[in-house]
Each structure stands twice: as structure tokens, then as C-alpha cells.
Structure 1
């Protein structure tokens, strides 16, 4: 019988944000250069830390003054995606491996699904929780996000990572990230909070971190057909960490401007139809004219309830154009019987049209609040301006 391949099981413990982000770079470089074996890494943070994605602008995503007052660290990931709050209770997990491994030779999307589903299966078997992967990068329980994922590559190696929310101070998260809560009504904040869950919420207690890590390692060992050997950083990795730490601690890294200009806006719209009321909240990157995410709520029925989350997931980082919205709505409603018995595709199309119709107001300098009180007479805004 062939002996299983041996991977490194690396737990780097509680570290600062700068150390953890530098270690992502160090271990990826080490694997790309053949200096270390394929690795499953666990990481945690010594204190609450806000991490922006590689392509984001820190001051656009983070309330820096709040973080400073709270003693929270702020740093930048080497992977893309959105800003997150990483608390000491959260468990980070990473696969750093060779891209030439037959197990990972598919597309990046296929690799992401494969690894995420192994993680989901490991948690399902250990805790009985219905974890599931939702492309592109979320792990959920019944439609509520409990782990984000992301990755990057260098040479012949790749890094794929996830963050498991064990517990969460969601009010601290909303205040640390630049979510304009002061512009949202209570029910809108509640709607945002309902889209996130934690191990504590699902289990009724905080599971031991060691139990989670053991379950995840066992799941990957079984699925990949590998054995794990517990080991620390190599001497080369330790030296490389010390060399890179000043860079990852510097303002030039943390506050580095994005190569793509970003300007974040929130747009609200409401549609009253015969079958109910739909409220839409769009998180808009107005500089790039892209919808970052959508939150749909209101007075209507959905069967199953998670159908709302399934619909919302279609509107992540898409062009802020009605043609694109209508294509996605048609795709959703063509997959089977409608989960919204009293609402049709036209209802959702109308509320998106109302929201996107407010973008020109923002471009003219009106504020988020003012867009709710402006109603063009005699046509759309573009039609009215065209007659001016």
C-alpha cells in the first residue's frame, strides 16, 4: 500500500495583524520556491483586527478613528475581496499547496469549490451544522454567512484561505467597517445582521478552538488522502518573516491607495406592488459604476426563506446597469417555480430600476439622503436634463 503524502500542519497561534499578513506572503513564497511542503495553516489574531482586501482603499473601507480608539489593528491582505473584522475568537484556515498537484489542476473556481466543500464537510461531520459553499466565496448556514474565502497564487503555488466566525460582536464590526449605519433605519441594520451567523449562535455555545482545528485537519487528510505532520516555520521562513515585517507594518502597505479609484455609496429604493413591499439597499462603487452587494427585504413571503439570500448572491460585484440586472433576474426566475408566491420578476426589476435611477443624482453632487427626496417631473432625470 502506498504511503500517504505528508503535508505540514502549521498552527502559527495568536499573532499581530502585520505578522499574520506577512506570513501569508512568506509561506506562499516558500512553497513556490520548493522550500516547504504543502501546508494546512491555522491562524488567529491577538486582538481585533480589520483587514482590507488587496485592491481596496483603507480610508474608504474602514473607520480608522474608531479602530484607533478601540485599539484595533488595521492591515491589508495579499488576497482580494472585501474588508473584514477578524476577532481573536475567529479561526483562520489556509491551504498553501502546489498548483501542479493533480488534485488542484482545475480552474481556480473549481479549486475554490473543492477546498471549500472539504471544509464544509469537515464541520458538518463534527458539529452537525449544515455548512454549504456558495460561489464565489461564501460559506453559509441556511443562507447566512459564517465564513468568507479567497485566494491568490505565485508561481507554481497557491494560497486559499477562509475565516470561521466562532463568535462576533456585530455592532463592533459595523462600526469598524465603513457601513454608514447613521444613514440606515433600524430594520435595515437588522436586515444586515440577519445575513451573518456564528458557531456560537448555531450551537448555543462557543466550541473549543482545538476541536475545530482537529476536525478541519481530519477532513482535509481524509479528502486529500494525505497525512499531516505538525511542524513550525522553517528557518528560511522565520528569517523571511523578520525581513518582511517592517513592510507589512508600514503605512505605505496598510494605506496604499488602490490602483482602481473607489467611491462607496449606498442607494435605497422601495417598490409597492400588489403582492407586497420590496426594499432594496445597494452598496455601490460609484467610481467604477458597479454594484458591490444588494440587500433585499420588505413585506412579502418567500419559500424557502433563504431564497432572498440566494437572489442577493447574484448581485455581487456586477455592472450597475439595468441590462445586467435583468439578465441576472431572468436567470434566477427561470430556474424553477418562483419562491416568491406574490411577487414576480417585474416587481424586482422595478425596485432595481428605481435604485439605479438615483445614480445620476449622486454624480450631480446630491447626497445619499437627498436622493430620497428628489422626484423628476415630466420624465426621467436624464430626459429632464436633456431638455434643459
Structure 2
């Protein structure tokens, strides 16, 4: 086993969303196809906001306010919800094989548990006690200090993302985000300032971003028994990064993908253990003609397409929906969600479609 991991570290300048996300998407490919050991990417973004892979960016954000304030917006390749990024929020990308010794088993959930333990240790080094709050947050006394996301679409290699709050602009978040009432009422909180905290707020001092990055590095080394070697992308990786920039992260087709249908589709919104689930449904007679599954959950494009295709032309009765879902359902298709809960969300959308 290789005891040295590669480290791509950028602290000299905040990077654009296209550059940062393209580097991150290259990490699991380099591990899977290029023979690289695990790679950790630590950096900061220019002021920006990034939606999860399966979110509708026009529903999640007030794009006019983003443009007016000079805030970049983009879509990442991992699931989960919207994150505000900037020079005082650490972005972490990790490309690693899911079978790497020390990673807990259990797919995305196991990786969340393993890496959240590392991040807890990093905060402990700084004098902050934190804990993992499923589905994907690191919290301090009930307040979020880091958000986690992951995707596994390169064989057994996985991309793990974290946004780590050294400091945070709550006013910016409330100005540029459209936040459904279902999310605002989550956990009983009614304002962002009561739901978020930062390293600087917890310690009461102006902790440098570099100090927090160093604590993260030392925690990874201690947990996995490895040492980091600071490195730069090689020529193969640079080519891959440039392709992701040109073919994905600068293309409106990517940024504005997963648009919610606007016409004559019933909408079912359900707050679940997996996240906010949004179902868009149209009926033909008593059957499902079309269904779109979106939200801030974790899944893969292949699994979502399989579920949506399975539901087409299914009778819109609850027992028929659940029966068809059960034929293809696996426990990890949508992390934290079960087939009965998805069925319930579909039925909410059905009732709303009938009223149109």
C-alpha cells in the first residue's frame, strides 16, 4: 500500500468555479485510470455559489442577485445542496478508491463517516468539539460548520467534497438563495444565523485559512497513517482538467441542466432523511406519463434514470408505484431514502397534478 498521498494545495489565490470543480472531477479519474494514489485538493474559490448535481439552479438561486453582486455560479458533479464559497471557506476535494484501508464500508454513508471523523479530528486540533450530523453535515452544538458531498461514477474511485467554514457571510446567503420553507423549518431553526457557525466564531479570533488547512492535513495523516507529498497535476491530468473546463463547467448546458419542468406537471415536495425531495409528475389517464426526480440528495445519474424509466407508464396507484420501484430498488440508489418514501413523494405530486 502506498503510504504517500498526493496534495494539490492552492492558497496563493482563490480559483474560479470552473477551475476548482474541474480539478476535483479529475481526481477520481486519475486514481481509477491513471494509477495515482489518493489525491487531496485543498483550495478556496472566488466569491461564488455552487448547486448540487440534481438541483434546479434557477429554483435554488436568485440569479439576478448573483449577477448584480458579481457572484459566480455553477453546478458541481456531486449531489447535495447549495453551498456559498469564497476566500474564507476551505474547499476540499478527495479522490480515493472506496476499498482504501481505513475507509468504512457502506458506500457513500461509510465514506461520510470516515472523512467526517477526520474533519472532527482537525477541528479538535483547533480546540473545537464537533460531530457528524447525518445526512451530510459537520456540526458544533447544533450549528453547521462543514458540508459534505460525494459521487462515485468512476468505477470504485470516489470524489468527496467538503466546504469548511472558516468565516461566512450570512447576509450574502440570504440575498442570493431561494430557500424553500421546508428547508427553513428543518430542525426547528428559523434563520440562517442560528444554523451556521464558523471556526472564527467558535474560537473568537481571526484564525488564518492556512492554519485550518494545516489541521486538516495533519488529521488525514494521523487517521490513515500516510504522509502528503505536495504536487501539481501532470500532463495527463492537465489535459483532463482543461476538458472539464471547456466541455462542462463553462457550458450553459451543464450549469442549467436538471431544470424542473414548468408546464402542467404536479410537484411533490417532501423533506426526508435523504434531503429535500422534489418530484415532477405528469399523468396520462391513470398512468404516469413522465416523472422527474430532483433534490439535494446523493445518487448517480444512472440510478435516477433507471428509477424514472421504471416509473413511466406505471399505474399511478400507490401499490403499483411501490411494486415497480421494488423491482429495481437497492438500498444505496438514493442515499438515506427508501422506496416507500419515494412512493409517498410521487403520490403528493400526483395529487397536485390532478388539481391542475
CA distance in 1, matches of 2:57, 2:35: 33
Counterpart residue number, 2:139 = 140
Counterpart residue number, 2:156 = 156
SS of equivalent residue, structure 2 residue 93: strand
Counterpart residue number, 1:12 = 10
Q: For the Cα contact (< 8 Å) 2:268–2:279, is it kept in 1?
A: yes
- Give 1:285 deviation, angstroms: 3.2
SS of equivalent residue, structure 1 residue 237: helix
Counterpart residue number, 1:219 = 219
Counterpart residue number, 1:240 = 240
Relative CO higher for 1 or 2, CA cutoff 8 Å, sep ≥ 6? Answer: 2
Q: For the Cα contact (< 8 Å) 2:104–2:114, is it kept in 1?
A: no
Task: Give the TM-score normalised by structure 2.
Answer: 0.71
Q: For the Cα contact (< 8 Å) 2:66–2:176, is it kept in 1?
A: yes
Counterpart residue number, 2:39 = 39
Q: Which has the larger radius of gyration?
A: 1
Q: Mapping of 1:114-133 within 5 angstroms?
A: 114-124=114-124, 126-133=125-132
Per-residue CA deviations over 1:319-362 (Å, capped at 9, x if unaligned) read: 998x989xxxxxxxxxxxxxxxxxxxxxxxxxxxxxxx9x9689
SS of equivalent residue, structure 1 residue 100: coil
- Give 1:36 deviation, angstroms: 2.3
Q: Which runs of 4 or more aligned residues in structure 1 lie more than 6 Å from their structure 2 counterparts after TM superposition? A: 259-267, 288-293, 316-321, 359-363
Unaligned regions of 5+ residues in structure 2, if any? Answer: 282-291, 297-335
Q: For the Cα contact (< 8 Å) 2:49–2:74, is it kept in 1?
A: yes
Count of aligned pairs between the two proteins: 292
CA distance in 2, matches of 1:196, 1:362: 36
Q: For the Cα contact (< 8 Å) 1:9–1:229, is it kept in 2?
A: yes
Per-residue CA deviations over 1:286-325 (Å, capped at 9, x if unaligned) read: 63799979xxxxxxxxxxxxxxxxxxxxxx978998x989
SS of equivalent residue, structure 1 residue 45: coil
Counterpart residue number, 2:278 = 285
Question: Do residues 58 (structure 1) and 57 (structure 2) align?
Answer: yes
CA distance in 2, matches of 1:42, 1:202: 22
Task: Give the TM-score normalised by structure 1.
Answer: 0.65
Q: Mapping of 1:76-225 within 5 angstroms?
A: 76-104=75-103, 106-108=105-107, 109-124=109-124, 126-153=125-152, 154-179=154-179, 191-225=191-225
